[in-house]
Amino acid sequence: MKNKKILLLLVLFAAGSSFIESCKKLPQNTYSVVPVGNFFQTPAQISAGLAPAYTAATPLQTESVFQLNEATTDEMVIPTRGNNWYDGGEHQQLWLHTVDANNANDNGGWTDLSNGITKCNFVISIINGLATKPANAPALIAEISVLRDYYIFLMTDLYGNIPLVTAYSTSASLAQVKRADIYAYLVNDLIKNIPLLSADNATTTPANYGHMNQWGGYMLLAKLYLNAQVYTGTADWANALKYANMVIASGKYSLQPNFFDNFSYNNRTSVENIFVIPFNNPNIGGNVIQMYTLNYNNIYTYNLVNQPYNGFCAPTAFYDSFDNADLRKKMWIVGPQYTSTGALIQPPLAPLTTLSKYVLELSNPADSFAYAGARSVKYQPQPGTGGSGTSNDGVRFRLADAYMMSAEASLRMGDVANALINVNLIRSRAGLPALSTLTLDDLLKERGHEFAWEGWRRNDLIRFEVASGTHYYTGARVPTKTQDADNHTLVFPIPQPQRNTNPLLAQNPGYGN
């Protein structure tokens, strides 16, 4: 009976997953009567069984982990507009790098990533405990192990030394492990498990969509090696280059001709996206980026069912860093705003709505400040949606990043020619002329324009800062931010609620006891 209860819990967790019934809602069947020995035998059962590990990724798209990785950088700011978006100062703390151990996003990021790790361990334990295992059990365990490595990677990137929990057991150690040791574990685990994953893309094998395959695994491995100096003190550009090039050479993916098709609400057809978090309004909610960024009155622009929340925007300097010829600049909206029929948004429909690129203050009660900041439409707003989210699948890894990782590793090893080839591929799609010379600052700028609001900017800025000593992440910015007093802000504080429940957690240096 105990195993049957676990099975019921497992399938209930799967409700709303994109891996079941081709994004349709699960039928209200009673799964507690399915004998455990007969489960994980059919493709539908396997998909349902793996679902909890994947659905745990849903909050990563727009919630705490995303905000920690973007709103602390030069490409996203969350101003306080009157009383909106103050929330005890937690959003301002991100921009100012004054995050404390009681910050809600700090705790939310830890909670969401711990949940993902736990769900992966849970699924693996179920498979290992089956009386009759499916023939592909080793591949299933490897797949969820690599997904778990993704969660662990994100968690150690944010918090440094963290518990390394790889078993669903009450006896698992909750003591922190040094970041360098976590790095070594991840490298070894990925090298062991990636070859067991499917080498097919979702075009060849639609069932692979939203699942971790070999190429998603190699993207993660390349990311690890690219940041080796941050995690261990010793760079490993050669292995970053090796695994980024493996993804490119696979021929499984190609650059999507239209950059924005990677982020449309029909982006399931992208030939560039390697690993995504599936969303599907109304069945799979959670991608609410349009609500977080758009102005209240953009409800009329995109025929939304709820008024947006008027929050996230691009800092002025970041918006201005785009060349006007760069097609990617269209990811931002500024200036007069119009209804879906092309009429100017103005009284009596709503106040005259003109978005300004200028965000020169972090807080201002003036009504005009409601219109400050360029808003993102990189993820195409979907008419008829609102607070429950859209159908745009959240992009985690795509081929453009393999090209850019290859370019960075090549450039750092002195191969400017190869780096230029890869960077110019990306620039060409953006409608920009080819570069004839390339510096690391050029490459960092290009990464910012290509991957804005995809959750990589903090990771990029810290890597560049550690490699050169230049204050890319910790430096002063407009509005208001001064240079960090030291480098303790390169990791976030261990959340106080987590320390309250786990006395083995020591606080990161610089954040008190």
pLDDT tens per residue across span 12-29 = 333 333 322 233 222 333
Q: How confident is the model at residue 96 (pLDDT cuts 50, 70, 90)?
A: very high
Q: At residue 117, what is the residue type?
A: I
Give the range among 43-47, 186-190, 450-454 with minimum mean pLDDT: 43-47
pLDDT tens per residue, range 196-224:
999 999 999 999 999 999 999 999 999 99
Predicted confidence (pLDDT) at residue 356 exceeds the cutoff of 50: yes
- Residue 161 and residue 185 in contact, taking contact as beta carbons nearer than 8 Å: no
Tell me the average pLDDT of the chain: 92
pLDDT at site 37: 56
Q: What pLDDT, on a 0 to 100 scale, did the predictor assign at position 4? A: 35
Determine the residue type at 96.
L
More confident residue, 31 or 362: 362
The string of pLDDT tens digits covering residues 279-304 is 999 999 999 999 999 999 999 999 99
What is the rounded average pLDDT of the residues 481-496?
Answer: 98
Which of these, 350, 357, 387, lies nearest to 371 by C-alpha position?
357
Distance CA 152, CA 165 (A): 9
Closest residue by Cα to residue 322 from 314, 115, 127? 314
> What pLDDT is recorded for position 46?
87
DSSP string, 246-304: HHHHT-S----SSGGGGGSTTGGG-SSEEEEE--BTTTB----HHHHHS-GGGGTTTT-
Please tell me the predicted confidence (pLDDT) of residue 498: 98
Report the sign of the C-alpha dihedral through residues 270, 276, 282, 288, in that order.
negative
Q: Tell me the mean pLDDT in the region 132-146.
A: 96
> How high is the pLDDT of residue 38?
62
Asked if pLDDT for residue 324 goes beyond 90, the answer is: yes
Model confidence, pTM: 0.93
Q: Which two tokens stand for residue 67?
A: 């905000």
Q: For residue 116, how far is the Cα from the chain centroid?
A: 13
37 or 401, which is more confident? 401
The pLDDT of residue 12 is: 37
Please tell me whether residue 134 adopts helix, strand or coil conformation: coil
- Identity at 40, one-letter amino acid code: F
DSSP state for residue 89 in the 8-state scheme: G
State the pLDDT confidence band at 44, using cuts at 50, 70 and 90. Answer: confident
Task: Give the pLDDT of residue 42.
Answer: 85
DSSP H or E segment with residue 149 = helix 137-159
Q: How far is CA 490 from CA 15, 156, 408, 495, in A?
A: 37, 11, 21, 15
Residues 488-493: contacts with CB within 8 Å, 24+ apart? 489/97, 489/99, 490/230, 490/462, 490/465, 490/466, 491/158, 491/159, 491/160, 492/68, 492/99, 492/106, 492/109, 492/158, 492/159, 493/99, 493/100, 493/101, 493/103, 493/106
**Residue 220 tokens, joined:** 């993660």
Angle (nearest 5°) at CA 132 between 129 and 135: 105
